Amino acid sequence: MKLYLIRHAKAESRASWWHADVLRPLSAEGHGEAMGLVERLDGVPIARVISSPALRCRQTVEPLAARLGLTVEIEPRLGEGSSMGEAMALIGSLGNRPVVLCSHGDLIPGLVQKLAPGALELEGKRVPKGSTWVFQGTYGETLRVAYLPPPRHAFGAGAEGERLRIAVADLGSTSFHMLVADAMPDGHLERVAREREMLRLGAAIGPDGLIPPETCERAVDAARRLGRAAQRAGAEQVHAIATAALRDAKNGRKLAEQLGRALSADVRILSGQEEARLIFAAFRRRVGLGDEPALGLDLGGGSLELAVGNASNLRFEETLRLGVARLHGELAPSDPMTGGESRRLRDWVEESLAPLVPRIQALAPERCIAAGGTARALGRLLLEEEDAALRGLLVTEDQLEKLSQKLRRSSHSERLDMPGMDTRRADLLPVGALILSTLVQMLRLPGLMISDWGIREGVILSAIERRNRDARKKPAAAAGGPRSG
């Protein structure tokens, strides 16, 4: 089965509504969330759309049904005050076709708990209005689950002159990525193109602290190809960032200058703290953070970035030399990983994290959000789909530990046969899974959510924010300028 369980979008307040509650409509913000739901599920082959009789539920899914050419089916078993048993019986009768159900806040938490025990703990027991829970698997068994926060939709976004096509070249320790996206003033992004080159710069740094000349040449060639891809995609701006490998290598700054010439864009070497801030900015937009604190992390090839904050501020940021490619080469190069390597690797991760654990726990993050190629590759392994949609995928501590054990006991050839395996990361994933599993256990977290947005999207959001800020300054400057007469 594949089930999209949606809590209705924001409605007019009960206090302001004098008629029957079943007729209480969506607010203006709720109508925007309903339109955002259409964007969210665009292209999904939904077979049925079923709603509670309440007007606010019907209005939440009517735009989606209209886009799909479907009629909203009214189902009293989804109504406010309905019994959990009757709602579960409805879900059990749906079969294998993708179905959308829209219901209320008194019913959905119990349904989530029954369909995927422990999922609410991963999300801090939150089921906000407009949120979506996606379940996939065999009914009656433990289902795979993803959580999607309330969608945002700005009417008129993308009007002529507002859209800006931005390319971001992310020159990382494991791979070089180019993302080209159309960005709207409200932060809505539409992906246009994406390219990736696996280079393993972090692993190439020699004992002398230098990236070898032949690796530098390959990196420049790769950057030149990415630059041409950005030109083909019609990018109006190109932003280039570099992370741990170029930050650590003695010749990193010189190589960054060469890469910049190949890309026709200046390369900005980020500090670990800057990485954490950009990644957290992407989480704020994509995951829908509220007032409660959340731990955000990005596990890359050369470093691990950690940040704790909420929708309005960032209270903690740190970077550690716990990159996957780095630790694979230094501590666990064998295939399969030996028991001694596994113990040394876990000990090293624990020793590195130990000073930070009290500081992070004191901030009481209610959930953990993970970005980066390693986290996404592990998510696809859990889903057993190489091109799986990962946004909001929830991974329990137990699932992560079991996957970690499976990976580190397997050989490279065995991993290549695993459904959903990213073949370019097959040698690194045992190390990455062990790092994340150890971190979750040390911080006593129930698990983590995998985000499909990360540092590249954070760079684009930062560029849009600067553009909006500059646009606001122009009228003020004009108003304060010299007057004639």
> Do 408 and 447 share a domain, yes or no?
yes
pLDDT at position 475 is 59
Pairing of strands 72-74, 48-51: parallel
478 band by pLDDT with thresholds 50, 70 and 90:
low
Q: Identity (one letter) of the amino acid at 198?
A: M
Q: Rounded distance, CA 62 to CA 46, Å?
A: 13
> Do 242 and 367 share a domain, yes or no?
no
pLDDT at position 130 is 94
For the cut 60, the answer to whether the pLDDT of residue 165 exceeds it is yes
Neighbours of 27 (CB within 10 A): 17
Q: Is residue 477 part of a domain?
A: no
> Do 288 and 429 share a domain, yes or no?
yes
How does the average pLDDT of the chain come out, rounded? 91
Q: Which of 344, 287, 342 is nearest to 147 (CA)?
A: 287
For the cut 50, the answer to whether the pLDDT of residue 219 exceeds it is yes
Domain boundary at 249, 269, 289, which? 269
Find the mean pLDDT for residues 63-87. 95
pLDDT at position 156 is 37
186 band by pLDDT with thresholds 50, 70 and 90:
confident
> Do 13 and 131 share a domain, yes or no?
yes
> Do 130 and 169 share a domain, yes or no?
no
pLDDT at position 158 is 40
pLDDT at position 315 is 94
Q: Identity (one letter) of the amino acid at 379?
A: G
pLDDT digits (tens, 9 = 90+) for 299-337: 999 999 999 999 889 999 999 999 999 999 999 999 999
> Do 177 and 107 share a domain, yes or no?
no
For the cut 90, the answer to whether the pLDDT of residue 173 exceeds it is yes
For the cut 90, the answer to whether the pLDDT of residue 471 exceeds it is no
Q: Highest mean pLDDT: which of 97-101, 162-166, 479-483?
A: 97-101
Contact between residue 447 and residue 122 where contact means Cβ atoms under 8 Å apart: yes
Q: What is the pTM of this model?
A: 0.83
Domain tally, the chain: 3
Find the mean pLDDT for residues 225-251. 96
Pairing of strands 99-103, 72-74: unpaired
pLDDT at position 477 is 54
Find the mean pLDDT for residues 20-27. 90
Find the mean pLDDT for residues 210-220. 97
Q: Is residue 383 part of a domain?
A: yes
**CATH number of the CATH domain containing 287:** 3.30.420.150
Q: Is residue 86 part of a domain?
A: yes
For the cut 70, the answer to whether the pLDDT of residue 483 exceeds it is no
pLDDT at position 387 is 77
Find the mean pLDDT for residues 70-94. 96
Sequence-distant (≥ 6) Cβ neighbours of residue 159 within 8 angstroms: none
Of residues 472 and 325, the one with the higher pLDDT is 325
Sequence-distant (≥ 6) Cβ neighbours of residue 60 within 8 angstroms: 6, 8, 9, 26, 30, 33, 34, 37, 51, 102, 130
357 band by pLDDT with thresholds 50, 70 and 90:
very high
> Do 298 and 372 share a domain, yes or no?
yes
Q: Is residue 310 part of a domain?
A: yes
**CATH number of the CATH domain containing 129:** 3.40.50.1240
pLDDT at position 187 is 82
480 band by pLDDT with thresholds 50, 70 and 90:
low
Q: Is residue 464 part of a domain?
A: no
Q: Is residue 29 part of a domain?
A: yes
> Do 284 and 233 share a domain, yes or no?
no
pLDDT at position 228 is 96
pLDDT at position 204 is 92
Q: Rounded distance, CA 467 to CA 281, Å?
A: 16
Q: Identity (one letter) of the amino acid at 431?
A: V
pLDDT at position 316 is 95
For the cut 80, the answer to whether the pLDDT of residue 473 exceeds it is no
Find the mean pLDDT for residues 174-197. 92
Using CB atoms within 10 A of its CB, is residue 358 exposed (0-12), middle (13-18) or buried (19+)? Answer: exposed
Residue 110 token pair: 């119990």
For the cut 90, the answer to whether the pLDDT of residue 291 exceeds it is no
For the cut 70, the answer to whether the pLDDT of residue 67 exceeds it is yes
> Do 249 and 304 share a domain, yes or no?
no
The DSSP secondary-structure symbol of 98 reads: -
For the cut 60, the answer to whether the pLDDT of residue 485 exceeds it is no
Contact between residue 131 and residue 123 where contact means Cβ atoms under 8 Å apart: no
Find the mean pLDDT for residues 132-152. 89
Of residues 104 and 184, the one with the higher pLDDT is 104
> Do 80 and 216 share a domain, yes or no?
no
> Do 283 and 176 share a domain, yes or no?
no
For the cut 80, the answer to whether the pLDDT of residue 176 exceeds it is yes
Find the mean pLDDT for residues 221-237. 96
162 band by pLDDT with thresholds 50, 70 and 90:
confident
Find the mean pLDDT for residues 186-208. 91
> Do 308 and 435 share a domain, yes or no?
yes
Q: Is residue 481 part of a domain?
A: no
* pLDDT > 90 fraction of the chain, expressed in percent and rounded: 75
Domain with 258 in it: 164-269
Q: Pick left, alpha or beta for residue 87 (phi over 0 → left; psi -120 to 50 → alpha; otherwise beta).
A: alpha
* pLDDT > 70 fraction of the chain, expressed in percent and rounded: 95
**CATH number of the CATH domain containing 182:** 3.30.420.40
Contact between residue 286 and residue 451 where contact means Cβ atoms under 8 Å apart: yes
Contact between residue 329 and residue 315 where contact means Cβ atoms under 8 Å apart: no
pLDDT digits (tens, 9 = 90+) for 382-438: 988 877 778 889 999 999 999 999 999 999 999 999 999 999 999 999 999 999 999
pLDDT at position 355 is 97
Q: Is residue 468 part of a domain?
A: no
pLDDT at position 226 is 97
Contact between residue 453 and residue 285 where contact means Cβ atoms under 8 Å apart: yes
Domain boundary at 269, 300, 329, which? 269
The secondary structure of 319-359 as a DSSP string is EES--HHHHHHHH--SSSPPHHHHHHHHHHHHHHHTTTHHH
pLDDT at position 484 is 36
pLDDT at position 402 is 96
pLDDT digits (tens, 9 = 90+) for 341-354: 999 999 999 999 99
